[in-house]
Structure 1
Amino acid sequence: MSETTTPKQHLQARWGADPGFVPKEWNTTLETIVSHRSVRQWQDREVTENQIRTIAAAAQSGSSSSNKQVVSVVAVRDPVKKQALGEVGGPHQAPHISTAPVVLVWLIDTSRIRAAVRKAQLEKPKVEYTGAEYLDEVLVGACDIGINAQNAVIAARSLGLGTCYLGSLRNDAECVGEILGTPEHVVPFVGLEIGHPDPQEPAGIKPRIPQSAYLHWDAYDAAAATDVADYDQILADYFAQYGKPSSWTSGLVSRVGPKAVKVRKRHFLRQVFERAGFGLR
């Protein structure tokens, strides 16, 4: 694959087609973001504690809804625990999870709110604090985790490291909680592998749907949003480079099919959050 150097080349790689515009402004931050790819093959090199702390500082610097900060993160370096997380991820993910130097696991963490509420109820026992009864409480945590995790990805990339998100940890959130020793009201939500990318890994920048289907101006364009026929071929051509024939739309449909909905224990997530004290009303 030829090296991308100009903004247009970076966007061409991102969409697998002519971008249709050329950015008038460009910098190393934009290049880092646009050239993102998932890494699943690692060099046998340490990610230092200082690097992890630096990445965590960047993650924690992300915006937090109402400054509630209902997010915590566990940095997993222990080989036994990484192997256990890999087993939750499944046979296709276990090898790269277990060999990543560190796996960050973000948690929806209401422990600080609960402690503050207990103290407040001692002073005003008749006041009811029912915010956790609503679905919004989980959505706030999920949104904040997304912001934290993306900050972490950009920070890691800026340090020359690679990353790979792990939604697969929700295959069995309760098991992940047991591995990490979290209390019952703290729910693991997403993971992130971090390490030094193996330059021999057969992978590139996976094209996204065209910007015309993603970016809408002033009002939603339903026709443009579903105009992805060309993208099917673009993605098929991308995967063909690595001997993995694939159709995006058929893959998309299979991911919401009867088997996919019950992958491992994801269909029990509602009960996991209910047992953790979220009402989901």
Structure 2
Amino acid sequence: MTNELLNSRYGTQDQPANLIWNDHTRQLLGHRSVRAYLPDPLPDGALETMVAAAQSASSSSNLHHWSVIAVTDPAVKRELTRLSSSDYFGSSMPFVQEAPAILLWVADNSRNHAVATALGVEPVSLDYLDALVMATADTAIAAQNAVVAAEAMGLGVCYLGAMRNRARELADLVRLPPYSFVVFGLAVGRPDPARSADIRPRPAQSVVLHHDRYDATRGDGWLGEYETATRRFRAESGMRERSWAESVVVGTGRPYLDGRENLRRMVEKQGYRLG
């Protein structure tokens, strides 16, 4: 089992030889993005368990800078499908409609703004970029705890960065207050075993792990082996042929933005001054 997980995660690249294996690490290394779901609703208590796990994550200064909106209404999910579609690629993500629940993870400083104001304090720190970074980081940390809990219950998930494509429309749809915005969505449900997902490979640890100081020469020559693992994954998953480097070109070029170039204006309208 452990060799199978490492082979799936790293392919023929160098694999870490001294991992400490237990049920938790096996679950984490077995993570995969699920884009095909059974129509079953979430099990009773699953949502509450995920939120309890999220609330148990670290929180910057214990300020609780996040909220989550659980969307199960089919009409609202249809709107989420539309708002997360890609104008550039001419496509949408049908599994957004198919998943029994879409969780919208909100970087949320609205509560703290209200509490400070009610106590007669001007919440000046919210005028600075760090307030947005801190809330975004806390939201991501909380969501990942929820993902670990979901997968431990046998559920599958897929993060949805495309929820930022039309951030203003989405904020209006779910009636976000000032000092908040949706960082990403999360599809969650029972995976369809007839359309199972594979484990996507990652670069060797030598590419991402540095010691004491960043070393830009670490992992020289890594790309070829990673491309081999990536191409095999795409072929075995029935995906069209594309190199990882091509994905970088798409992911760093303007076409990928699909409306996200307006995100700064959106968060400024939500009250952030980004000083």
Question: Kindly tell me: are residues 109 and 195 of structure 1, through their superposed partners in 2, closer, same or farther at Cα, counting changes over 3 Å?
Answer: same
Query: Is the 2:34–2:196 contact (alpha carbons within 8 Å) kept by the matching residues of 1?
Result: no
What is the rounded CA distance, in whole Å, between the counterparts of 2:119 and 2:266 in structure 1? Answer: 27
- After TM superposition, the structure 1 stretch with the greater mean CA deviation from structure 2, 226-235 or 45-54, is 226-235
* Alpha-carbon distance, 1:187 to partner: 1.1
2:6 to 11, 15, 19: 11
2:153 aligned residue = 159
**Equivalent residue number for residue 105 of structure 2:** 106
162-171 vs 194-203, which moves further: 194-203
* Identity score, percent: 35
Q: Is the Cα contact below 8 Å between 1:85 and 1:94 reproduced in 2?
A: no
Gaps of 5+ in 1: 122-126
**Matched residue, 2:249:** 253
**1:158-197 matched pairs, under 5 angstroms:** 158-197=152-191
After alignment, is 40-49 or 22-31 more displaced? 22-31
Distance 1:152 1:60 in 2: 9
Q: Number of matched residues?
A: 269
* Contact preservation (8 Å) 1:38, 1:164: yes
Give structure 2 stretches of 5+ with no counterpart. Answer: none
SS in 1 for 2:165: helix
Q: Matched residue of 1:200: which SS?
A: helix
TM-score scaled to structure 1, two decimals? 0.90
User: Aligned-pair distance for 1:115?
Assistant: 1.5
Kindly state the Cα deviation for residue 211 of structure 1 after the two structures are TM-superposed: 1.0
CA apart distance, 1:216? 1.2
Q: Is the 8 A contact 1:59 1:152 kept in 2?
A: yes
Letter in 1 for 2:260: R
| Higher RCO (CA < 8 A, seq sep 6+) | 2
1:36-90 Cα distance to aligned partner (Å, 9 max, x none): 0000001121103411111111111110111111100011110111111111111
CA distance in 1, matches of 2:156, 2:92: 16
**Which of 230, 236, 244 matches 2:231?**
236
2:65 alignment partner, one of 53, 66, 70: 70
- Give the structure 2 partner of residue 124 of structure 1: none
**Structure 2 counterparts to residues 1-281 of structure 1, below 5 A:** 5=1, 7-17=2-12, 19-23=14-18, 25-90=20-85, 92-121=91-120, 128-201=122-195, 203-225=197-219, 227-241=222-236, 242-261=238-257, 263=258, 265-281=259-275
Indicate if the aligned counterparts of 2:66 and 2:138 stay in contact, CA closer than 8 A.
Answer: yes
Counterpart of 2:43 in structure 1: which amino acid?
A: T
1:153-184 deviation per Cα after TM superposition (whole angstroms, max 9, x unaligned)? 11000000000001100001121122212223
User: 1: distance between equivalents of 2:204 and 2:25?
Assistant: 18
- The two structures, once aligned, show a CA RMSD in angstroms of 1.7
